[in-house]
Amino acid sequence: MSAYVISEKDGVLRVGGTGDFSVFSTFDCGQCFRFDPVENSPYKIEYAGVARGRKIGFAQNEPGEIYIIGAAKEDFPVWEDYLALDVDYGAMNEAMVLGVPEGSDREMMKRAVEASRGIRILRQDRWEALCSFIVSQNNNIPRIKKIIAALCEKYGRDIGGAHDFPTAESLDKAGEEALFALRTGFRAKYIANAARAVSGDAEFLGRVAAAKDYADAESLLVSLKGVGPKVAACTLLFGFERYDAFPVDVWIKKVLAKRFSEGFDYHVFGNSAGVAQQYLFYFERYLGGEDEK
């Protein structure tokens, strides 16, 4: 990654030297639920939302530079971390392609990498990731966003024109019945249970983060009622920076069966597995499997 060139004007940071980072692909690939595109933006692409307890926006006109709206120059390290600008995705992309056996499978992975280039795995809050992906079960993205917005408005801290994600303590205090009233459905009992577990054990999320082996981290999460392997994998990938997590849903099953050889084993991606999963998800669901689009 080249050195950043940072300038500030009227509460907007212009950051050059961001490589192939894509605001659109990163915020449109289904990994976070508190950002939305801004209509009538002066930028070609702009997403605004809440992260790290603040209202924030990310915009882009051309590759290689981004605009961070609502931040001062001294805040840049926070957003560099959140956007994972410090991760060498070039090396990761190369490793994941070379990990696939030569032939049609490797060529397929090359296509997915090229089509999805610019996606970054955001470093989201651990509790927010866990709670959000519990909400995501048997759900679609618009409805997930509505439920999370309702949780934040009702139980999140007011941060001036928006609300932070509610703490586990606040949702535990609210209780299952109140959570159900926000149209969370069958997920209410799972949210309440997770909130109770996390608020009652200050070290729980820390133990998940400290787990050396993926199986140990997964085991801790699936001990929570309503958290299965898929929700655990999403939580670990998006909330704990476990790039060895590979969430498997209907879309991933579809792309693996449709695009790769029979018996394809995603473990070949190693510590790039989670990034590979996002590329494949984006490639199949959003681009229809065609990188020409």
Same domain, 141 and 219: yes
* pLDDT over threshold 60, residue 293: no
Same domain, 220 and 261: no
Q: Which domain holds residue 14?
A: 5-82
Same domain, 75 and 116: no
* pLDDT over threshold 60, residue 278: yes
Return the SS3 of 164.
coil
- pLDDT more than 90, % of the chain: 82
Which has more pLDDT, 3 or 236?
A: 236
Active-site option among 55, 110, 154, 230: 230
Same domain, 215 and 149: yes
Residue at which a domain ends, from 55, 82, 109: 82
Determine, yes or no, domain membership for 291: no
* pLDDT over threshold 90, residue 151: yes
* pLDDT over threshold 50, residue 75: yes
Q: What is the CATH number for 27?
A: 3.30.310.260
Determine, yes or no, domain membership for 137: yes
* pLDDT number for residue 289: 58
* pLDDT number for residue 284: 85
Number of domains in the chain: 3
Determine, yes or no, domain membership for 292: no
Same domain, 137 and 192: yes
Determine, yes or no, domain membership for 204: yes
pLDDT digits (tens, 9 = 90+) for 90-115: 999 998 998 888 898 999 999 999 99
* pLDDT over threshold 50, residue 1: no
Same domain, 113 and 254: yes
Same domain, 154 and 197: yes
pLDDT digits (tens, 9 = 90+) for 174-230: 999 999 999 999 999 999 999 999 999 999 999 999 999 999 999 999 999 999 999
Geometric angle at alpha carbon 234, from 228 and 239, rounded to 5°: 120
Same domain, 271 and 228: no
Q: How far is residue 289's CA from residue 73's CA, in Å, rounded to a whole number? A: 39
* pLDDT over threshold 70, residue 78: yes
* pLDDT number for residue 2: 52
The model scores a pTM over 0.85 = yes
Same domain, 227 and 147: yes
Determine, yes or no, domain membership for 26: yes
Same domain, 230 and 130: yes
Determine, yes or no, domain membership for 293: no
Residue with tokens 């950051």: 15
230 is known as an active-site residue = yes
Same domain, 188 and 213: yes
Q: How far is residue 192's CA from residue 29's CA, in Å, rounded to a whole number? A: 27
* pLDDT over threshold 90, residue 60: yes
Which pair of structure tokens corresponds to residue 291?
């990188």
- Would you place residue 255 in the very low, low, confident or very high pLDDT band (cuts 50, 70, 90)? confident
Nearest 10 degrees: Cα torsion 88, 218, 207, 126: 60
Q: How far is residue 191's CA from residue 131's CA, in Å, rounded to a whole number? A: 6
Same domain, 252 and 211: no
Q: What is the CATH number for 166?
A: 1.10.340.30
